[in-house]
């Protein structure tokens, strides 16, 4: 897999995810913050929503915020959680990887691997992915 090092724009994205989490953190209901940057340069954020049945992850909330505001091209995405006195960049779950394959397979995903943060295209995180009829691949 082609892992790339982060740049200054990636750090801004991580900071936006941290900021939304700090604003909304609840140790039971809101433990993850996400941020996406779109081709326009706009950044949109979201937090996870815990519920008794199913609560969406932070990533689809951030993607939904972008799409609600007319964006259609996600350039990069990341998610973070609180860890001890700092933050940890998270790898997306399987559902979020599929969502990215359906909507933004070329988007760069910032993720943790062996204790370090890298980025790669969403398509690289789900080899052999199911491709739906509405996917933008």
Say if residues 42 and 74 touch (Cβ distance below 8 Å).
no
Predicted confidence (pLDDT) per residue in 9-40, tens digit: 999 999 999 999 999 999 889 999 999 999 99
Q: Does any domain span residue 116?
A: yes
Cα–Cα separations (whole angstroms), residue 119 to 22, 30, 68:
23, 24, 25
Q: Is residue 1 part of a domain?
A: no
Domain that holds residue 96: 8-124
| 120 domain-assigned | yes
Q: Whole-angstrom Cα distance, residue 69 to residue 61?
A: 12
Q: Is residue 71 included in any domain, yes or no?
A: yes
pTM, 2 dp: 0.91
**Catalytic amino acids?**
59
| Rounded CA separation 48/62 (Å) | 9
Q: Phi and psi of 11, rounded to 5°? A: -65, -35
Residue 22 belongs to a domain? yes
User: How many domains are contained in the chain?
Assistant: 1
91 CB contacts (<8 Å, ≥6 apart)? 111, 112, 113, 125
Domain contains 130? no
What does the pLDDT look like over 41-89, one tens digit per residue?
999 999 999 887 778 999 999 999 999 999 999 999 999 999 988 999 9
Query: Domain of 55: which CATH number?
Result: 3.40.140.10
Residues 6 or more apart whose CB falls under 8 angstroms from that of 41 comprise none
Q: Report how many helices (DSSP H) and strands (DSSP E) the chain contains, helices first.
A: 3, 6
Residue 131 within a domain = no
């Amino acid at each position: 897999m082609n892992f790339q090092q982060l740049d200054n724009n990636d750090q801004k994205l991580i900071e936006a995810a941290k900021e939304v989490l700090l604003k909304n953190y609840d140790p039971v209901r809101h433990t993850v913050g996400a941020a996406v940057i779109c081709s326009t340069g706009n950044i949109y954020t979201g937090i996870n929503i815990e519920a008794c049945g199913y609560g969406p992850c932070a990533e689809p909330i951030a993607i939904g915020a972008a799409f609600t505001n007319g964006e259609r091209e996600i350039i990069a995405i990341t998610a973070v959680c609180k860890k001890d006195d700092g933050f940890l960049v998270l790898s997306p779950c399987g559902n979020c990887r599929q969502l990215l394959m359906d909507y933004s397979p070329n988007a760069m995903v910032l993720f943790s691997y062996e204790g370090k943060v890298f980025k790669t295209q969403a398509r690289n995180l789900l080899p052999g992915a199911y491709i739906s009829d509405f996917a933008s691949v």
